[in-house]
Structure 1
Amino acid sequence: MDDREKRINTELSLLETMYPDQVQYSAKAREVKYKSTTGAFVLRLPDEYLDDSGDVPVVLSASAGNKDLRGSLKLKIDNLPLGEEVLDSIISAFDELAEEAVEQSPVATDNDRQSGQTTDGKATVIIWLHHLLNTNKRKLALSTSSSLGVSGVTKPGYPGVLLYSGEARAVHSLVNELKQQNWQAFQVRLEDDEEWMLSHGIGIIEVETMREVVAEVGEARKDVFLEAMRMKNTSRRHIPPDN
């Protein structure tokens, strides 16, 4: 195995850790498949991928909200540097495109109406971040112009976690405001139409560990939270220590 293939395998291994059950790779076809709650794409890695004079991944398919995103994703990829690992950047770019497509999709809007989902009532949203380190982003996660009427808990580090609950309109407004920031990965892992009562009470607080987030959620919601964090199998044993 040459150095380039080793780099590809390392990159894919990291992606599978960051996006469990969402990334698949076919070595024979050299195809990378990614699927999220909003959309999916398939890329082909050219033989010269990671060569300084090589080429970037080729978009075979990309869609979200019944919208074809192949052209839009290709434009994003064309601006990425040659010779560097860019699959994580492609996933982040696609997630942004997919979220925009779903928000603008008439079909998605009709489905929301049919299912009775509105911005009234209560809501809880759990967000997984690749990381939350930047001081300004941590401050925004704790208090933005949309945070009035929202209670929640945030955890910085790797990964970052944001959990917000309260009036549905305020919660969704806060989430949309935070989406506008430049995140390496911003994934809504759970949306619930009920308000979660957090142990600290009213307001948004920051904690240091995943264990503290679980304590805030409480036993009644513990398994739901761990499942959203892809940690469900550990819920009956222990919460792994944060990095």
Structure 2
Amino acid sequence: MDDQAERISTELSLLETMYPGQVQYVANARELRYTSTGGTLVLRLPNGYLNQSADVPEVLSASAGKQDLREPLKQRIAACPTGEEVLDSVISGFDELAEGVADRAQAESDSASQGGKTADSKATVIVWLHHLLNTNKRKLALSPSLPGVSGVTKPGYPGVLLYSGPATAVHEHVNELKQQNWQAFQIRLEDDEEWLLSHGTGVVEVEAMKEVVAEVGKARKDVFLEAMRMNYLTSLYCFSKPRDESPEMKVSPERYHTPEGPDSPLSAYSIAMAIMPRAFSTIPYAA
């Protein structure tokens, strides 16, 4: 065995040790095949390889996924010294190129996935208002600027806004409303799911809280009431008294739009009677 053949044999043995099961050499064709999880490389060793000639390994094929890596790999091989063992360097260079392809593919996949998630994400927002009386505000509440938003609005004391649909559209509409001048504007619930309302699509205005409860349905009723519950108590303490009520501060379930009437465990009347029996004669009215 001449010196060239012995050096090639030694180099191939070293490669088989470094990359067990990944390197195959066909002596008759002088072809070296390297396979990894990232791709496949096939080289041909020219007759002058490891001589003082300028012969370097020839790239027959180099691919990672669907990406052809022959040209960038040839550029790396061209920078290798002639007459020296370079197969390990060539394989390392191929692995780096294949990893770059995999990283870009993963980044594109993540970007597409995130983009799809953003496009498909849903949201539901419930807003409690001290009151909703102004005609212009009521019209604005019923007119989201972006399509796809469904919802329910209840004017009066308190005012309630419920919007559901594409997250971007819902939050943009809520933010637009928030910029208006409100005595109190409080987001009471934010959900990352879309709520199906009984009226279907679009935004509708209802007169009473019980109608809002009917819109959200039994599946969402408890969640909605939980979001509104503390506001019933707040209304008893803080809401301005209607001008036509007597100084004795009458408590009417219809006045506060309780969903189940005066005997409901969650009605404003029942809660008030349970925890503050003397409040009605002592609480001053708001101006």
**What TM-score do you get using the length of structure 2 for normalisation?**
0.40
The structure carrying a bigger strand percent of its residues is 1
Q: Structure with the greater relative contact order (CA < 8 A, sep ≥ 6): 1 or 2?
A: 1
- The structure number with the bigger radius of gyration is 2
**What TM-score do you get using the length of structure 1 for normalisation?**
0.47
